[in-house]
C-alpha cells in the first residue's frame, strides 16, 4: 500500500511539472521578444510542485532568450509577491523589480508594462467577478485595456 501511495504521489508530481511547463511554453508564445511583465502574488515553483504556472510563462520566455523585465506586486497583506515571487525570480537570474500594490497603473500608463501574467484559481473568483485574487488584480485587469496592456 505504501509503495502504491508513493507511486501515485510521484506521478502527481511529474504530471504537475509537465502541465506547468506546457502552460509556460504556451504562454511564452504571446510574450514579445522584449517585454515588461507584471505578475501578482506567487504562482511559481513554491506554489506548485516545481515549475510554476504564471512564473512558468516567465521562465519559459526567459529560457527562449526573450528580453523580459518583471514587475512583481508585493501582494498585501501576506506579501507573497515580495517574499516569494521576487526570491524565485532572483534565484533564476531573471530581472525583477518589486512594486507596491498601488503602482501598477502608473507603470502601465508610462509604458513599463506590456502584459500582465497571473494565474487565478477558481475559488478566488466570485460570480460577479468582484474578487480576483484580491482587488489589486481586478484593478490591474480593468486598467489593462485602457493602457493597451495584454493580459493572460
Instruction: Give the whole-angstrom CA distance, residue 102 versus residue 140.
Output: 9
The answer to whether 72 and 81 are in contact (CB under 8 A) is yes
For cell 507573497, the residue is 80
Instruction: Give the whole-angstrom CA distance, residue 149 versus residue 84.
Output: 25
Catalytic residue at 114?
no
Angle at 86 between CA 145 and CA 24, to 5 degrees: 60
Farthest-apart Cα atoms in the chain, separation: 58
Closest-CA residue to 96 (of 133, 132, 44): 44
Select which of 3, 65, 123, 130 is catalytic. 123
Catalytic residues: 123
Amino acid at each position: 500500500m505504501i509503495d502504491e501511495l508513493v507511486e501515485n504521489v510521484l506521478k502527481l508530481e511529474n504530471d504537475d511539472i509537465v502541465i506547468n511547463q506546457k502552460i509556460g511554453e504556451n504562454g511564452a508564445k504571446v510574450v514579445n521578444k522584449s517585454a515588461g511583465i507584471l505578475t501578482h502574488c506567487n504562482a511559481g515553483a513554491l506554489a506548485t510542485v516545481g515549475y510554476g504556472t504564471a512564473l512558468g510563462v516567465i521562465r519559459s520566455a526567459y529560457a527562449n532568450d526573450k528580453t523580459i523585465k518583471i514587475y512583481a506586486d508585493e501582494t498585501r497583506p501576506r506579501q507573497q509577491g515580495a517574499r516569494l515571487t521576487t526570491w524565485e525570480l532572483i534565484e533564476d537570474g531573471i530581472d525583477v523589480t518589486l512594486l507596491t500594490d498601488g503602482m501598477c497603473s502608473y507603470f502601465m500608463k508610462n509604458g513599463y508594462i506590456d502584459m500582465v501574467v497571473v494565474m487565478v484559481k477558481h475559488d478566488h473568483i466570485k460570480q460577479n467577478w468582484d474578487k480576483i485574487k484580491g482587488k489589486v488584480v481586478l484593478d490591474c485587469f480593468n486598467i489593462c485595456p485602457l493602457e493597451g496592456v495584454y493580459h493572460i
